[in-house]
Amino acid sequence: MQVFGRHYQNGEPIRVTLNAGRIRRVDPVWPDDSTADWPWIAPGLFDLQINGHSGTWFSQENLSADDVCLVVEKYLAHGVTRLCPTLITNSFEALRDGFSAVAEACDRHEWVDRMVPGCHLEGPYIAAEDGPRGAHPLEHVRPADWDEFTEWQKASGNRIRLVTVAPDQENIVPFIRQAVESSVVISIGHTGATPEQIEAAVDAGATMSTHLGNGAHGTLRRHPNYLWEQLGDSRLWAGIITDGHHLPASVVRSIITAKGVDRTIITCDASGLAGCPPGVYEEGAVAMEVLEDGRLVVAGQRQYLAGSGQETDHCVATAMKMAPLTLGQAIDMTSRNPALLLGYEECRLRRGSRADLVLFNWQPGGTFDTVATFLAGELKYGEVPEPATITS
C-alpha cells in the first residue's frame, strides 16, 4: 500500500510504501498540482500517561478487558498508536484486577497488544499531603511495598514499565533501586519532597518527572523547592501536560528551555472523564467536575485539577501555541521521546520502521485534526484521502 502526504518535519510531499507492517520505502514525489490540501504525515503518537476515556478509568474497580479495548480504541481517532494505560492510587485489589484486565485485553487482541507496549502505575506510593496528592484518594496512599508491586506486575503479565512515586514516601529509595534493576522506569511525581530527597531518588535511578509543575502545592517557598530541583537536574526527563489548563505558557517554555526538546515529553494525562460532557461525576470517594471550558477539577472548587479532559492530538497543537516549537519538534516530543525513555522501538518515517502512521490536517496556530491512523501498516481509523495527480 502507498500513502501520500506532507512530511511532518519539512513539509515535503512524500510517498510512503507499506508492506507487512513495516515501511518499505519513503520517496519524494513531484505532484503536478499544489500540495497545500494534502494531509501531513507523521509517526503515530505515543502517550505514556492516559487514565481512561468516556467515563471509564483504567484504575476503576471491576474493569473488564472489553472496557480496556473500548478505551484504547478511542485514541486511534486522535492519532495515538501507542499508549501506556495509567492506573492511579487505589486499593491492592482494584489495581491487581485492573492490570489483569489490561493483560487479558492484550492477550486477546493483537492490535491492543501493539497499542499497549507497557503500563504506567501512578501511585499509590505518593505524598499524602493535600496539594501534592492531587485528586488521588487519601485512603489508598501508602508506603512503598516491593512485594505488593510484584503482585501487580505479575497480574499485568510483566507489562508495568513506568511507575510514578514520591521521594518523600517511606521505603522509596530501596523500592526505586529494585524497580530499576528489574527494568522499570521510575518517575518523580505527586511529591512535596525536600531537595535532599529528590537527589536521593535520582541517585537511586529515577529518570523522569511526571507532569512537572503539577501535583504540587499551590504555594511554594521561593527556593529551594522540589520543582527547581527537578528542573535543574539534567538526569531527569520532564513530562508536561500541554492541554492549555495545567501549565501557563511561560512554564511550558521554561521547562522546554531547561530540559531541551530531546528530554521533554508531551502527554495529555487524559482522565477517565475525557470525552464526557460538563457536569459532576462521582468517582469512588472523590467527586469530580467537568467544567464548561474543558477543565477537569475536584468538585467544589476551581484550583485543583483532576487530570485532563483533552486528548493527545490537542496537546500537540496547544504546545506549539505555548512555546516556540516546530511541528516536527512537537510530534517528536509526543512520539519519539516516550519510546526512547521507555526503551521501545522508535517509529520513524524511514525504511524498516514499524508502520505506525498518522495523517492529519494542521495549519500554524490551528488544531491538529486526525484524518487517518495506521497501526503496524493497517488502517485502523479514518480514510486515506486521494492524493493530487503525481507526475510519472
pLDDT per position as a tens digit, 218-268: 899 999 999 999 999 999 999 999 999 999 999 999 999 999 999 999 999
For residue 357, give the C-alpha cell: 502512521
pLDDT band per the 50, 70, 90 thresholds, residue 140: very high
DSSP β-bridge partners for residue 3: 16
DSSP secondary structure letter of residue 308 = B
Mean pLDDT of 214-221: 93
No. of H helices and E strands in the chain? 11, 20
d(CA 26, CA 17): 6
For residue 218, give the C-alpha cell: 499551590
Residue-wise DSSP of 155-179: HTTS-EEEEEE-TTSTTHHHHHHHH
**Multiple choice CATH, 45-276+306-342, 3.40.50.300, 3.20.20.140, 3.40.50.2300, 3.40.50.11540:** 3.20.20.140
| CA count, 13 A, side-chain hemisphere, 35 | 19
CB 271 within 8 A of CB 71: no
For residue 213, give the C-alpha cell: 509543575
CB 228 within 8 A of CB 145: no
d(CA 170, CA 188): 14
Largest CA distance in the chain: 67
DSSP β-bridge partners for residue 389: none
pTM of this structure: 0.97
Mean pLDDT of 43-67: 97
Q: Which of 133-137, 297-301, 365-369, 373-377 has the lowest mean pLDDT?
A: 297-301
CB 319 within 8 A of CB 266: yes
Q: What is the pLDDT at residue 298?
A: 84
Q: What is the pLDDT at residue 300?
A: 84
> What pLDDT digit, counting tens, does each position of 331-362 carry?
999 999 999 999 999 999 999 999 999 999 99
pLDDT of residue 314 exceeding 60, the answer is yes
DSSP secondary structure letter of residue 108 = H
The topology under which CATH files domain 2-42+350-382 is Urease, subunit C; domain 1 (2.30.40)
Domain map of the chain by residue range? 2-42+350-382, 45-276+306-342
d(CA 173, CA 160): 19
Q: Which residues of 91-122 are buried (b: 16+ CB within 10 A; e: fewer)?
A: eeebbbbbbbbbbbbbeebebbebbbbbbbbb
Residues contacting residue 250 through CB under 8 Å, at least 6 positions apart: none
Amino acid, single-letter form, for residue 60: Q
d(CA 368, CA 181): 39
